[in-house]
Amino acid sequence: MAIDMRQSRPLILCVLIGLVSLPARADFHVFACEPEWATLTRALMPDAHVTTATSYLQDPHYIEARPSLIAAIGRADIAVCTGASLEAGWLPMLLQRAGNRKVQPGRPGLFFAADHAQLHAPHDHVDRSMGDVHPEGNPHVHLSPDQLPKITEALAQRLGELRPEHSADIFARYITWRVNWNSHREQWRESAKTLEGHSVVVQHTGFIYLLNWLGVGSTVDLEPKPGLPPSASHLSQLLTDPALDKASAILIASHQSRKPAQWLAERTGKPVVVLPGTVTDDPETDTLAELISMIVNRLETSVAEVSDGGF
Ligand SMILES: [Zn+2]
């Protein structure tokens, strides 16, 4: 049967228009420096292609500039990172090698979460004697119940600027995210009532924003100085720290060596609690809200066990 081209033209046109308008979101490429920003970006733009440079099993301060990461940042429409010098050891090199103008410093395609947060402990002066201290303040802000909404709103706005045709959808998803976050935050607030006044031993400042928010003390640190590995002399000194007695548990992140924590546990009888420092692929901890809920639960369990033990 012969096809009448005059009749089929509108159909062909419709198909062509459909093809032209489809790729806008599907072809949006995101380079996330850490998994927390990958999950947040996916919540706002579920169809984006997201490459994550690090996992919860890695220390985000130090990673290798692998060729696959250079390729991923080379095709990125946006790079979503922590900033505040957290990635100072590897991101500038990746950006330079990839040569992608869209994500160079100062361009809208480079988003730093820390630029939209109030960081704890900024320093006017930083030198090597202080350890790996960031002048801008503690960059590990992704577990802060109060700062995440501001960061997520800013990210939604930036994504909307880069893809104006989807800005209404992105903003609607931000509102959904925000409602969910607020309801979780209510639960964490409840938990904080039992946790407040307790303390844990930490290793580095990765959990500090959340611990401070919950009212959980964290003055005893296995690191002698930020970013320096726990030394034998520092660990021995900790045994004489009066604050150690009060700690309910020794809290470390999944990517950290267990040895220093176990050394202290053997001498104090305190439990070692190993928790992911960021989101994982496990459905129980694959969003920041789920992760924080899990951390809060584990802290409650530790505190309860210590209380049962007659403290
Ligand atoms: Zn750090």
- CA 231 to chain centroid: 27
- φ/ψ (deg, to 5) at 249: -160, 170
**pTM of this prediction?**
0.88
Identify how many contiguous H helices and E strands the chain contains and give both numbers. Answer: 12, 7
- Of 118, 271, 303, the C-alpha closest to 209 is 118
* Mean pLDDT computed over 267-292: 97
Residue 66 pLDDT > 50, yes or no?
yes
Q: Kindly list the distances between the CA atom of residue 162 and the CA atoms of 76, 111, 159, 286, 298, in Å, as whole numbers in the listed order.
A: 12, 11, 5, 26, 39
pLDDT above 90 as % of the chain: 80
Q: In the structure encoding, which two tokens stand for residue 145, read together?
A: 């119940």
Separation of CA 40 and ligand 1 centre (Å): 20
Residue 39's region, left for phi above 0, alpha for psi from -120 to 50, else beta, is alpha
Residue 299 pLDDT > 90, yes or no?
yes
Where residue 306 falls among pLDDT bands split at 50, 70, 90? confident
- φ/ψ (deg, to 5) at 259: -55, -50
* Residues 121-171: tens digit of each pLDDT: 777 666 667 667 677 889 999 999 999 999 999 999 999 999 999 999 999
What is the structure's pLDDT at 25?
47
How many CA within 13 A on the CB side of residue 197?
3
Domains of the chain, start order? 29-120+133-180 (3.40.50.1980), 194-305 (3.40.50.1980)
Average pLDDT, the chain: 90
Separation of CA 25 and ligand 1 centre (Å): 34
* Mean pLDDT computed over 110-130: 83
Separation of CA 227 and ligand 1 centre (Å): 6
Residue 280 pLDDT > 50, yes or no?
yes
Alpha-carbon torsion (121, 288, 69, 112), positive or negative: negative
Longest dimension (CA), the chain: 93
Separation of CA 80 and ligand 1 centre (Å): 17
Distance of alpha carbon 286 from alpha carbon 4, whole angstroms: 54
Separation of CA 18 and ligand 1 centre (Å): 47
Separation of CA 124 and ligand 1 centre (Å): 17
Separation of CA 246 and ligand 1 centre (Å): 25
Residue 59 pLDDT > 50, yes or no?
yes
Where residue 26 falls among pLDDT bands split at 50, 70, 90? low
* Mean pLDDT computed over 237-247: 94
* Residues 71-104: tens digit of each pLDDT: 999 999 999 999 999 999 999 999 999 999 999 9
| H or E stretch at 52 | strand 49-52
Separation of CA 264 and ligand 1 centre (Å): 22
Separation of CA 87 and ligand 1 centre (Å): 10
What is the structure's pLDDT at 4?
52
Q: Which residue has the higher pLDDT, 308 or 258?
A: 258
Lowest mean pLDDT of 31-35, 51-55, 64-68, 275-279, name the range. Answer: 64-68
Provide the 3-class DSSP secondary structure of residue 252.
strand
49 forms bridges with which residues in the sheet? Answer: 29
Separation of CA 300 and ligand 1 centre (Å): 25
> Is residue 226 within 8 Å of residue 204, measured between CB atoms?
yes
100 contacts: CB under 8 Å, gap ≥ 6: 73, 74, 75, 76, 109
For tokens 């209380």, what's the residue?
307
CB atoms within 10 A of CB 273: 18
* Residues 10-24: tens digit of each pLDDT: 544 444 444 444 444
> Is residue 60 within 8 Å of residue 86, measured between CB atoms?
yes
* Mean pLDDT computed over 227-241: 94
pLDDT above 70 as % of the chain: 87
CB atoms within 10 A of CB 104: 14
Separation of CA 204 and ligand 1 centre (Å): 7
Separation of CA 128 and ligand 1 centre (Å): 14
